[in-house]
Structure formats: structure tokens, C-alpha cells
Structure 1
Amino acid sequence: MSDFTLTASVRNDLGKGASRRLRRANQQVPAIIYGGEAAPESIAVDKTSFYKAIEDEAFFSSLITIEVAGKPQQVVVRDLQRHPYKPLVTHADFMRVDATHEITLNVPLHVVGDDKCAAIKDHDGELHVLANEVEISCLPKDLPEYLEIDITNIELGTTLHLSDLKVPAGVTLVALTHGEDHDNAILSVTKSKVRVEEDDDAPEAPEAPESKSDGAEGEDKSE
């Protein structure tokens, strides 16, 4: 599991205006820590280390240590609010974790073995990834950064479902706790569709003969 540590300070100046001033200073990101038995705590996270951390996919499915005024707290990311058109995070939500209580979190799915898969390499198969992440529940110590799907030996025409995933001990797929109807498809390998392009040099089909009317063209049938 990756080790992420952020430094933060307590934020006493609250409100939208205060958050805006904090972002304009360009050194910290406004955030909040909540959950557990402690009260919610408004903080300001060091911007440099935070932006470096969110470049790593594992940051969003890992335990994170936030040192607030020198006091470490273990958290997970719950939400990031982003600017509508600028590459900026305007606010971050972190949830405290307790070693004795399970947490629910989305973790990414990583497909491996596609470069060795005979169904794709030798039988013109096409890979369709139907889900990029899944929701899991586990104790903090059992939290995986991602779940792996090995398709090395998958056969053409196969569809994999949530129940086909191999999960570590202590990890539960949340959807499957709701019954078989929630065993959603996550990946399939199907025969590639061959697109037939029209040949510009192909002879044109002959035009159908015009149908003849009962009387000659222009003939007045009235008496």
C-alpha cells in the first residue's frame, strides 16, 4: 500500500470568502476532516504535496496520513470539488478511519494479460472494459489499492462479472451483498466487427425500367 502524508494547518477563518482568499494565496487547499468520534475539522492542506499526491491513482484508494498542526490523523479521500474549467481543486473532503471499523470505498480495476491473450492476439478478439472501478468494504488494514483482472487465458466470447473477481481476504464487493441481480458485467472479449467499405470502382446497378402507364404519355383519354 502506498504511503501518502500531507501537512495541514487548522483553518479558523471560514466561509466562501475565506476559502477564496486561501486559494488566491496559492499555497494551500481548503479542506475538511470528518467522521469518527471527533468533531469535523476545517483545515488548509499544503498545495504542493497535495497536487503531487492526486496525480497518483493510488491516492484515492489508500490510507492517507494528514498531520494537522503536527498531530497525525489517518483518513481516506471522500470527495474533491474541482473548478468548472480550470485544473484546480477548490475543496477536499477527508474521512477519518478507525482500525476497528470497516470502510467503504471505490477502488480501480486493472486489466492485465491482454498482451498475452490468445483470444485477442490470434482470434481477432476485441476487449471491452465495462467498469473501471468497484465499491468494496473492508477494514483499513485490508484496503487494496486496486483489484486485478487477468485475462491471459480468457476465451473469445467470454463476459466476466463481479463474482469472477479475485478479492483479497477481508475484502467484500458491496454490490454482491445485494443479491445475484447485482452481479454486474465488468469486462468482455468479443469478435471484432469487420466493417465493409463500399468499393468506388464497383459497377453501378442498372436502373429499373420506367413503368408504363395505361395510356400514352400526353394522350387525352377523355371523350
Structure 2
Amino acid sequence: MTDFTLNAEARSDLGKGASRRLRRNASLVPAVIYGGEKAPQSISLVAKDLTKLLETEAAFSHVITLTIAGAKESVLIKALQRHPAKGFVLHADFLRVVAGQKLTALVPLHFMNQETAAGVKTGGGEISHTLSEVEVSCLPKDLPEFIEVDMAKVEVGQIVHLSDLKLPKGVELVALAHGSDLPVANIHMPRVQAAEEGEGAGEGAAE
């Protein structure tokens, strides 16, 4: 089981130059905590600890506990700035989580029963994913690590929309709340096969 906790230190040496020195000399990652009723707080994290945490997909949709000088802050990862070539984290933004106050977060979608989906197993179709994550609104205690998309009964030509998803109790989809029922996935015939069938139909018509 992943431990969603990180030790952090408050920092007062701010600016781009200070951040570069921090990363170079101490293998630390500069970060900021903001939100709630408190003022933004600049902190630093041990780079290897943050990297290890980010290896877990759930870290991006899980409440993380930051320990700073003995005090604990519940936060969500809001944004990560990465090195354009090497991919390591240059800076992190965390959003404070307040108990009893709704939050919004991006949650990954896990597609289930894809190989045995009706449109794949008996219809010979292929699955295309339109979305890989969704924005949810809920209380911190209800935040899911992922949302399942069950493809078992989806036939060729059918589209799974946001409104088709089964959501955990207390969780709402932000897009749906704004009247946007976006497509999530669909099953379609392979392009090569569809093209061949189209050509066959054309030849038959010509005769």
C-alpha cells in the first residue's frame, strides 16, 4: 500500500536563482502550497521522495499529507513543472484540502472488460478511448483514486458517454454539471475492414 505522505521544509529563499540552487545543491524540489484561508506557503521537498510517490498513478487523485515542521497539511497535486528533456520535476504546486469543503480534481479512468466486450469478442470491433481522466467534484473523504468504465456490454457502433459512468457516492462530474455529456469511449470496426467492405459495396453497385 502506497504511503501518501511527504516531509517538507518551509523556505524563505525565493526566486528563480534560489530554486536553481535548491535543485542543484540539495537535490530538493521547490514547491508552493496555496488555497483555503491561509496564505500561500513556499516549501521544498526531497526530489527522490517526490519521484517515488509520483510513480503511483493514484498520487495524482489522492489526498497527500505534507509534514512541515511537525504540522500536517492535507493537499492535492495541482500542477507539476517538469524538465522538457529529462522529465524530472522542477516545481510543484499543491492545493490545500479543507475537510467538509468540496474540491475538484482530475481522476483517471480504468477501462474494464475490454478484451471481452461484446463489440470486440463477437463483433470484431476495436475500442477507442476519447478520455483518459475526468474532473470530479466531491468532499475530500469521497475522492476516488479512479473511476471504472465497464465495456462488457458495449456493441460495435456504440459510444460510452459521461452519463453512462457509475460514480461512487458523493462524486459528481464537473462536465456533466455544466451540461456537457462528453464521449468517453466507443467500439468501431477496424479501418482496414471497413474500407474493404466499402470497396466491395461499390463494386457490387457498379455491376
TM over 0.5: yes
Letter in 2 for 1:189: I
Q: What residue in structure 2 maps to residue 153 of structure 1?
A: 153
What is the rounded CA distance, in whole Å, between the counterparts of 1:84 and 1:37 in structure 2? 34
**1:84-134 deviation digits (Å, cap 9, x = unpaired):** 212221100001101111001111111010122232123211101010111
Partner in structure 2 of residue 144 of structure 1: 144
Deviation at 1:2? 5.5
Uncovered stretches (5+) of structure 1, i.e. residues with no partner:
197-223
Q: Letter of the 2:41 partner, please give it.
A: E
Count of residues in Structure 1 that have an aligned counterpart in Structure 2? 194
Gap runs ≥5 in structure 2: 197-207
Percent of aligned pairs sharing the same letter = 50
Q: Tell me which residue corresponds to 2:74.
A: 74
Q: Give the 4+ runs in structure 1 shifted more than 2 A.
A: none
Distance in 1, matches of 2:133 and 2:41, equals 29
Equivalent residue, structure 2, for 1:87? 87
**Deviation string, structure 1 residues 143-189 (Cα, Å, up to 9, x no partner):** 0011100111212211011100110111010111112xx11111000
Q: Which residue of 1 aligns with 2:15?
A: 15
Residues 39-58 of structure 1: matches in 2 within 5 Å? 39-58=39-58
TM-score w.r.t. the length of structure 2 is 0.89
SS in 1 for 2:18: helix
1:192 aligns with 2:190: yes
Cα distance in 1 between the residues matched to 2:45 and 2:111: 33
- What is the identity, as a one-letter code, of the residue corresponding to 2:67? E
Distance 1:150 1:13 in 2: 49
Compare CA radii of gyration and give the structure with the larger one. 1
Q: Which has the higher helix share?
A: 2
Q: Is the 8 A contact 2:123 2:155 kept in 1?
A: no
| CA-to-aligned-CA distance 1:25-81 (integer Å, 9 cap, x gap) | 252110011111111110001112100011111100000000012211100001001
